[in-house]
Amino acid sequence: MERHHELRRPPGTSRFGCNLCGKEGHQAAQCAEGTVDWIDRFGLDTFVPKLPYYMIKPRAKPDYAKIEEEARLYAKTKEEAAKKVDTKTTGEKFQLELQKQIVQAKVNETLPQGWRSYTAPNGKMYYHHAATNKTQWTKPAE
Ligand SMILES: [Zn+2]
């Protein structure tokens, strides 16, 4: 017996006994007092012997109609998604944003003191007065 086997047994137990519990008559692999739940760790399927290949039944014929239907639905979904993609390049977006800001700057020059114009997410312009925290859609006269 090798020394590292002896060290795992509880002290004072037989050197011919199990490496886990020290009792004679079985080995550590069959020990009922083992602490590792191998089935829990690897699943019961791991320990069930597999059928030889010649005893496994051939697979059932695939349902081609269902596969086709699913494939068509997938293609349609992809097509719809492709239509929604924003095709503007970064340069085009930059130009649009720049034009928007130029227009806004020109409008700001014509506004009374304290007023600034902004563009809402819907594209409509609105006006805000910072000192009074007033916001309105119509252009302020004074
Ligand atoms: Zn044992």
* Residue 7 pLDDT grade (very low, low, confident, very high; cuts 50, 70, 90): low
Query: Which two structure tokens, joined as six digits, stand for 22?
Result: 């020290």
Residue 61 lies in a domain: no
The angle subtended at Cα 32 by Cα 27 and Cα 38, nearest 5°, is 90
Cα 18 from Cα 9, distance rounded (Å): 7
Centroid of ligand 1 to alpha carbon of 50 (angstroms) = 28
Residue 75 lies in a domain: no
- 84 within some domain: no
pLDDT in tens, 98-128: 988 888 888 888 888 888 888 887 878 889 9
CATH number at residue 97: 2.20.70
- Give pLDDT tens digits for 33-83: 776 777 888 888 888 888 888 888 777 888 999 999 999 999 999 999 888
Q: Answer yes or no: is 81 within a domain.
A: no
Give the Å distance between the CA of 72 and the centre of ligand 1: 60
Task: Tell whether 69 is covered by a domain.
Answer: no
Given this model, what pLDDT does residue 139 score? 85
Average pLDDT over residues 4-20: 75
Instruction: Kindly give the distance from the C-alpha atom of residue 39 to the centroid of ligand 1, in angstroms, as a whole number.
Output: 18
Structural domains in the chain (count):
2
Could you tell me if residue 108 is inside a domain? yes
Residue 37 belongs to what domain range? 3-55
- Same-domain pairing of 95 and 51: no
Calpha distance 75→78 (Å, rounded): 5
